[in-house]
Amino acid sequence: MMWSVLKNIFYKKNRKELKQETMKKFLIVGLGNIGEKYQNTRHNIGFKILDYIAEKEESTFETMKLGDICHFKCKGRLFVLLKPSTFMNLSGKAVAYWLQKENIPMENLLIITDDLNLPFGTLRLKTKGSDGGHNGLKNIQTVLQTHAYNRLRFGISNEFPQGNQVNYVLGEWSDIEMEKLTERMTQCHNIVKSFGTAGVQLTMNVYNGK
């Protein structure tokens, strides 16, 4: 009888500790396409931001199943950075796999993506929304079966001739854009850390539009 009571207490404690540990892990996914020809394109801003964060956090990516992975810690939180190797249109497969593998709850997922509907460098953190015609977000929504996941949109503007959208998003940054990217990526780094340590609502209040 006593052993049964102690065992229940032990298991309840373990479940509580496991839940607490799970809530301290965050999956940060940068969207992009693999391959050198895509490396400096506007569509790959998600990869570029994660590379910047990894460098600043002195972490290194390792090629693993469905993507490149690295980790860093901040204020007791573990951040798992993922660059999917599935190509943009199948990003959801990698996201779902690493959420499950790392046992990370949906509310601790953050997708970083480019957005044509925002002026260059504008940052918008949201907890849900439509895919906005973005194939990566569209696939993630299909695989996860929800549009209620956190996303950080990085504006790349829509200043291109009609019918030239594909060439624009797969084109490389202009010299003027390149001059401003470092400051914008620093802000993204701050947003990612705040997302994990202060929460999404407070982070939206502090950083959206800045």
Q: Give domain status of residue 28, yes or no.
A: yes
- Helix, strand, coil shares of the chain as percentages rounded to 5? 50, 20, 30
Residue 77 placed within a domain: yes
Q: Does residue 141 sit within a domain? A: yes
pLDDT of 7 above 80: no
* DSSP H or E run through 67: strand 67-74
> Does 15 reside within a domain?
no
pLDDT tens across 115-141, in order? 999 999 999 999 999 888 899 999 999
Q: What digits encode the pLDDT tens for the residues 151-169?
A: 999 999 988 878 888 899 9
Q: Model-level pTM?
A: 0.88
Q: What is the CATH number of the domain that holds 158?
A: 3.40.50.1470
The mean of the pLDDT values for the chain is 90
C-alpha–C-alpha distance, residues 94 and 61, integer Å: 15
Active site residues: 43
Long-range contacts of 175-180 (CB under 8 A, 24+ apart): 177/120, 177/121, 180/120, 180/121
Question: 169 lies in a domain?
Answer: yes
Among 165, 172, 169, which Cα is nearest to 155's?
A: 169
Our measurement of the distance from residue 125's CA atom to the centroid of its chain's CA atoms, rounded to an integer in Å, reads 11
User: Does some domain include residue 38?
Assistant: yes
Structural domains in the chain (count): 1
Rounded CA-CA distance 11/202 in Å is 34
Q: Which tens digit of pLDDT belongs to each residue from 44-56?
A: 999 999 999 999 9
The domain containing residue 153 runs over which residues? 24-207
Residue 7 lies in a domain: no
Closest CA to 91 of 42, 30, 50: 30
